[in-house]
């Protein structure tokens, strides 16, 4: 069977693009089991979809997306496929969270829930053999006007998956980027899922609080291949919880050291699970930056988030990383439901104590599939979109919508803008760093590259959007001295 896997393009083009690892894994799995597969990464490169259909003649297409941003393109692609009688499958965390709404579009046949490798293979095999596919595990579809969801599929043992065939990527250049001092970054993954169940995250529904890992040896062989064949110089691990625990982290790092990869890398992990010995081993294995989901400096708010994090441990871990030479980035959320001014002040106090770290701060946005989303809907405090078309409208959050906290919207905007501006204008993040203002440089380059992402019209739109965002952040970060004083913020 000919199967075309598609990574749809975003409404808003960004230079730093994620490697479509899920589709690459599915493509490899299908190929190993006898199907002919092609992949289109439309998020990185525009294609004539009609020409692709006519030349490759797929029997089935699959579209996958993490968020609603690529919905419009997925509809365009799927409608063209249906005109040709091609079987259409959608998948990914966003689709899995609002499946019934997706079917109102009338351009898809089934939705694949969770991981797609085994589900898509069984579906393809049955379609090819002309057999009934309606009992395949992990699917959702419409039958006689009602939505049907089949039995949930068990998680795959990731050690059974073949090494990823990266040659399905026809253009590596858009997927290679720069971060801090490191060029040629490429996204890879070692594990799926996370052991935590934060109330704001989709992990509860999509991964069920479970973390699974591929063999480290396979990852190392893939990295060596990519370095030799495509010239990657560093790895950005997309794992939600890199390492998982001390013993496993040490095993991973020692395997990398023994393999003498010669690649720098960065990852995301948790505060409080590793100590100085572990961070030093990570550095020795090539780690040069770590991202931590801190979210808040308030114990009560962290408890509502079910974060399982002690805020006192945050500056401890970050100081260790700074001492060793690992750059850190901390994610924060402001405007979380029922957040108070005192809780926000605690976050600002924590941020002031770790001003040597980089910050990314987001407004809380109810995410379908998360525990707090269901709670807000049940309490009548949030009404999710009733039409899939509402998700297709580009949403740019210049302020929290809705503001479900007890903090004035202006205060949230000032705090968030201060964090972002502080990171943007910081000269160095590590001792001996060669590039000054690395964050500002990257953001500016990304913005300029985005202007030519997908044509003149979108480039002009992106220019005005980026310009407005910059001015909005600059304004709220610098022109509200009373609010800054209220939360203990300083311009320096």
- Contact present, 438 and 1 (Cβ < 8 Å): no
Rounded mean pLDDT of 15-28? 84
What is the per-residue pLDDT for 258?
A: 97
Residue 15 pLDDT exceeds 60: no
Gyration radius of the chain's alpha carbons = 23
Residue 13 pLDDT exceeds 60: no
Residue of higher predicted confidence among 244 and 396:
244
For residue 456, what pLDDT band results from cuts at 50, 70 and 90?
low
Tell me the pLDDT tens digit for each residue of 262-304.
999 999 999 999 999 999 999 999 999 999 999 999 999 999 9
**Pair of tokens at residue 42:** 């439309």
Residue 462 pLDDT exceeds 90: no
Within the chain, which residue ranges are assigned CATH 3.40.50.280? Answer: 2-149
CATH architecture of 2-149: 3-Layer(aba) Sandwich (3.40)
To the nearest whole number, what is the mean pLDDT of the chain?
A: 91
Residue 59 pLDDT exceeds 80: yes
Cis peptide before 402 (omega within 30 of 0): yes
Report yes or no on whether pTM surpasses 0.75.
Answer: yes
Residue 115 pLDDT exceeds 60: yes
What is the per-residue pLDDT for 324?
A: 95
Tell me the pLDDT tens digit for each residue of 172-220.
888 888 887 788 999 999 999 999 889 999 887 788 888 999 999 999 9
Residue burial 124-144, b: 16+ Cβ < 10 Å; e: rest: bbebeeeeebeebebbbbbee
- Contact present, 264 and 286 (Cβ < 8 Å): yes
Quick one: which of 475, 364, 347 has its CA closest to 417? 475
**DSSP label at residue 156:** P
φ, ψ (nearest 5 deg) of residue 32: -60, -30
Quick one: which of 196, 175, 239, 198 has its CA closest to 20? 175
Q: Given CA atoms 392, 397, 398, 399 in this order, what sign does their dihedral have?
A: positive
Within the chain, which residue ranges are assigned CATH 3.80.30.20? Answer: 176-365+400-486
What is the per-residue pLDDT for 25?
A: 96
- DSSP bridge partners of 361: 332
Strand order in the sheet with 139-143: 36-41, 2-7, 60-64, 87-91, 110-112, 139-143, 146-149
Please tell me the class of the 176-365+400-486 domain: alpha beta
Tell me the pLDDT tens digit for each residue of 404-446.
999 999 999 999 999 999 988 887 777 666 677 777 777 776 6
């Amino acid at each position: 069977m000919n199967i075309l896997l598609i990574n749809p393009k975003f409404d808003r083009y960004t230079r730093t693009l994620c490697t479509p690892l899920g589709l690459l894994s599915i493509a490899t799995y299908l190929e190993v089991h006898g199907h002919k597969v092609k992949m289109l990464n439309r998020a990185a490169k525009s294609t004539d979809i009609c020409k692709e259909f006519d030349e490759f003649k797929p029997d089935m297409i699959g579209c996958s997306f993490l968020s609603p941003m690529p919905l419009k393109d997925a509809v365009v692609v799927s409608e063209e496929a249906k005109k040709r009688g091609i079987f259409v499958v959608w998948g990914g965390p966003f689709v899995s969270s609002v499946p019934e709404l997706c079917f109102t579009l009338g351009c898809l046949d089934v939705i694949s829930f969770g991981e797609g490798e085994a589900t898509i293979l069984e579906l393809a095999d049955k379609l090819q053999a002309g057999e009934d596919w309606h009992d395949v595990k992990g699917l959702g579809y419409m039958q006689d006007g009602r939505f049907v969801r089949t039995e949930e599929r068990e998680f795959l043992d990731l050690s059974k998956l073949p090494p990823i065939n990266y040659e399905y990527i026809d253009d590596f250049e858009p997927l290679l980027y720069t971060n801090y001092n490191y060029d040629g970054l490429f996204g890879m993954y070692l594990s799926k899922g996370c052991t935590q169940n934060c109330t704001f995250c989709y992990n509860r529904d999509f991964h069920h609080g479970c973390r699974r890992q591929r063999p480290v040896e396979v990852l190392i062989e893939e990295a060596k291949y990519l370095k030799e064949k495509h010239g990657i110089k560093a790895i950005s691990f997309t794992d939600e919880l890199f390492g998982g625990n001390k013993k496993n982290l040490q095993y991973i790092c020692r395997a990398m050291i023994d393999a003498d990869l010669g690649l720098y890398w960065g990852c995301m992990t948790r505060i409080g699970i590793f100590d100085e010995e572990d961070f030093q081993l990570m550095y020795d294995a090539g780690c040069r930056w770590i991202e931590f989901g801190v979210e808040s400096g308030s114990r009560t708010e962290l408890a509502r988030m079910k974060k399982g994090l002690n805020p006192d441990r945050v500056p401890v871990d970050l100081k260790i990383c700074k001492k060793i030479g690992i750059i850190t980035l901390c994610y924060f959320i402001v405007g979380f439901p029922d957040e108070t001014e005192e809780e926000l002040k605690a976050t600002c106090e924590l941020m002031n104590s770790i001003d040597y770290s980089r910050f990314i701060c987001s407004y809380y946005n109810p995410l379908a599939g998360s525990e707090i989303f269901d709670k807000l809907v049940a309490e009548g405090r949030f009404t999710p979109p009733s039409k899939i078309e509402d998700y297709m409208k580009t949403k740019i959050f210049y302020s929290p919508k809705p503001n479900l906290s007890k903090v004035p919207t202006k205060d949230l905007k000032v705090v968030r803008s201060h964090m972002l501006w502080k990171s943007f204008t910081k000269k160095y993040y590590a001792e001996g760093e060669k590039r000054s203002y690395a964050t500002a440089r990257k953001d500016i380059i990304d913005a300029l590259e985005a202007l030519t992402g997908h044509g003149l019209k979108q480039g002009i739109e992106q220019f005005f959007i980026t310009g407005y965002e910059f001015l909005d952040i600059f304004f709220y970060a610098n022109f509200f001295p009373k609010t800054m004083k209220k939360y203990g913020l300083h311009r320096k």
